Chain A
Amino acid sequence: MGTVILLALTGLGLAALYFLVASGLSLVFGLADVLNFAHGLFLGVGAYGTWWAAGNLPGAGSDGFGFVLAVAFGVAAGTLVAILVELVLIRPLYSRTIEQVLVTVGLSLAGVALLQATWGADARTFPRPDWTRQVTGILGAQVPNGGLLLIVAAVLVLGAILAFLRWTRYGLVIRAGVENREMVTALGIDVRKAFTLVFAIGGAAAALAGALGGVYFGTVSPGQGGSLLIFAFIVVVIGGMGSVVGSAYAAVVVGLVQQFVNYYGTSGLGDICVVGLLAVVLLLRPQGIAGKVATA
């Protein structure tokens, strides 16, 4: 029983990580039709930003309020990079989808290389607070606190994004834009502002994933974002493009399947099962599990 609980909770921790990456990806995808290959870069910026701030920013550190400040700095850095990417690189290619995807491909190559040039290719130890290294006993399972932190953060982010989409004017524009961009544009609403906003939200969530992922894994490396990104893509497609709730469901399914199969089968088999799941979902329900594309 303890093993099952432990596996379920670590699986949910992984799912939280996937959700944080996939939520922004899914909104960008639904609204702008852009498969953002540079999304892993935002994660890397968040992770390295937090890592840098913990060592260099006055007042920040690896514990208590200092760590919160470091994470805030990392998230701010990731958000800033995401906004810049949208304004400088994506916006001039408005409605030229394939070029937008190509630009993000180039950016993902160049950006990761830049991180590697600055901080080296090897993984660095992440300055995590002491309490995240400890474990909590839940129903007989010793669960690492880092994973629990991720789950809490992901639930909070999910709630915040949903509240934003449901109850604000821009949320309404984004929801409508995901549903039918041409119609919203025809009504005289500037969807491009919504693009920038969606990039900022996605960048912030991905940067948070980077910072908390550093806590979860204990290290940070330039390639981390890229390896998570592929599973985030899978989560987005399974969940239904543009649907944040769908991404949350899909992230849970993918995280749990991966964790349980990897434990009870061979290591690596879980990853393959996830791809199999993707193939099955696409063949049976090409629009993803959230049904109709695009709801909050």
Chain B
Amino acid sequence: MTVIDAPRAQVPDELSPQRGRWHRVRPFLPLVALAVLAILPYSTISLPGIFEGPVNSPGTLQLLAICLIFGGLAAGYDLLFGRTGMLSFGHALYFAAGVYGTDILVTRAGLPLWQAALLTITGGTILAALLGAVALRTVGIAFAMVTLAFAQVGAILVARDFGGLTGGEEGLPLDVSGLPAGLVGVTNTVNLYWLALAYLTLVVFVVHRVSGSPTGRVLAGLRDDERRIGVLGLDPYRYKLVAFTLAGGLASAGGVVYVLIVGGASPHITSSELTLSLLVMVVLGGPGTRWGPVLGGVLYMYLDHRLTAFGTSDAVDNLPAVLSRPLSQPLFVLGTVFILAVYFFPGGITSLAPRLSHLTRSLRPPR
């Protein structure tokens, strides 16, 4: 049986040259970033080339909100992959459970949003606990396959439209008539943006609290050497199930926010490709690091959206067909970037800073 050697956490750059003042400010940077993100919708500056309209236009805010959601999803997925060393290929299922659960309860059953959200998150968490209890009886690659297969059942259920609940291939638009007025309409995109920001903050907070707690140390121990945890008298199965359930619950909460932002559910979110994308996000950002998965998720979704626009732009269209056709496929660009990242930046984006500082230090003339 294969045992996956999970990616190790990055060494915190305590050895980095810039101690002093910078070091004292550093712990507050996340709060500053949060404040900047929170007041971003009040600014009317436009960044041509980066966003299509001014920052506070509904289109840009929606794109930003989706980026934030996926930053949170990637951080939740990293609880499994980067921090516990579990390679799950079925994380899309719990996200899709959140999206479709909310949509069905609101649109088909006519429940108020808060009830639907509560039921969905509870249901998603229970689903993760049940399926995790079965899947975790296997390890390594077999675990990846079982989670993949379970997620595939979800995709089939959605696509085949059993009971006429999911709308099949067409998807299910969200019935907005029962929703709170503040979450409906183009002018209220800003509220959805804040909701997405709140979700990201929640996930980051939970993941950091868990990984900083004694449980988090056990999870890191499981990632590095599972047998050692067993020898210590702790039950690896139970800890892994806790992580799996928690990550599933967080993903389904993300689905609740996502369905509000996008205004409906479509079957492509159930595909295994979504889990693969989450994996790409985490590895691009830096698995097991504090901000890597968030950065990876935000960057991936941003590129995914912008590359579509870039691919149809004049600059690309004027290139010869050999270049312009592949470049118009976001997944081609992202897949290639991902392969290169696996080779040349094993620690992801977050490993770039220490590498660069080493580089600049070695280039500086000795004093």
* With known contacts A97-B2, A102-B342, A279–B134 Cβ distance under 8 A: yes
Main secondary structure of the interface of B (DSSP, over half): helix
* With known contacts A98-B7, A98-B87, A275–B342 Cβ distance under 8 A: no
Asked whether B339 is an interface residue with its Cβ less than 8 Å from the other chain, the reply is yes
Among the stretches A52-60, A108-116, A126-134, A144-152, the one at the interface with B is A108-116
Q: How far is the CB of A35 from chain B (nearest CB, A)?
A: 5
Which residue of chain A has the shortest Cβ distance to B330 in the bound complex?
A: A113
Chain B residues positioned under 8 Å from A234 (CB to CB): 145, 149
Give residues 282-332 of B contacting A (CB, 8 Å).
283, 325-326, 328-332
Among the stretches B135-143, B176-184, B244-252, the one at the interface with A is B135-143
Say whether A282 contacts B156, CB under 8 Å: no
Asked whether B280 is an interface residue with its Cβ less than 8 Å from the other chain, the reply is yes
Contact count band on B = 35 or more
Say whether B146 contacts A99, CB under 8 Å: no
Say whether A89 contacts B339, CB under 8 Å: yes
Say whether B153 contacts A103, CB under 8 Å: no
Say whether B326 contacts A279, CB under 8 Å: no
Chain A residues positioned under 8 Å from B156 (CB to CB): 268, 271-272
How many residue pairs link A and B with beta carbons under 8 A? The number is: 128
* With known contacts A102-B283, A282-B137, A110–B335 Cβ distance under 8 A: yes
Q: How far is the CB of B123 from chain A (nearest CB, A)?
A: 19
Chain A residues positioned under 8 Å from B273 (CB to CB): 109, 226
Say whether B342 contacts A111, CB under 8 Å: no
Residue interface mask A261-294, B partner, CB < 8 A = 1 = 0000011100110010011001100110000000
Say whether B6 contacts A98, CB under 8 Å: yes
Asked whether A233 is an interface residue with its Cβ less than 8 Å from the other chain, the reply is yes
Say whether B4 contacts A98, CB under 8 Å: yes
Asked whether B272 is an interface residue with its Cβ less than 8 Å from the other chain, the reply is yes
Asked whether A92 is an interface residue with its Cβ less than 8 Å from the other chain, the reply is yes
Say whether A99 contacts B342, CB under 8 Å: yes
Say whether B339 contacts A107, CB under 8 Å: yes
Q: Give A108 to B334 CA distance when docked, in angstroms.
A: 11
* With known contacts A114-B329, A233-B148, A283–B137 Cβ distance under 8 A: yes
Say whether A267 contacts B326, CB under 8 Å: no
Chain A residues positioned under 8 Å from B279 (CB to CB): 102, 105
Given A102-B283, A272-B157, 17 further pairs, Cβ under 8 A: A96-B5, A99-B346, A106-B280, A107-B335, A107-B339, A109-B273, A109-B331, A109-B338, A110-B334, A110-B335, A112-B331, A113-B326, A117-B326, A117-B332, A266-B160, A275-B152, A279-B134
Query: Across chains A and B, which 10 residue pairs bring their CB atoms closest together, nearest first?
Result: A110-B335, A268-B160, A109-B335, A113-B332, A106-B338, A113-B329, A113-B331, A106-B339, A117-B325, A275-B149
Q: Can you list 10 A-B pairs with a CB-CB distance of less than 8 A? A: A97-B2, A98-B6, A110-B332, A110-B338, A112-B331, A113-B335, A116-B329, A117-B332, A237-B146, A268-B160
Residues of A participating in the B interface, judged by any CB pair closer than 8 Å: 29, 33, 35, 37, 89, 92-93, 96-99, 101-103, 105-114, 116-118, 226, 230, 233-234, 236-237, 241, 266-268, 271-272, 275, 278-279, 282-283, 286-287
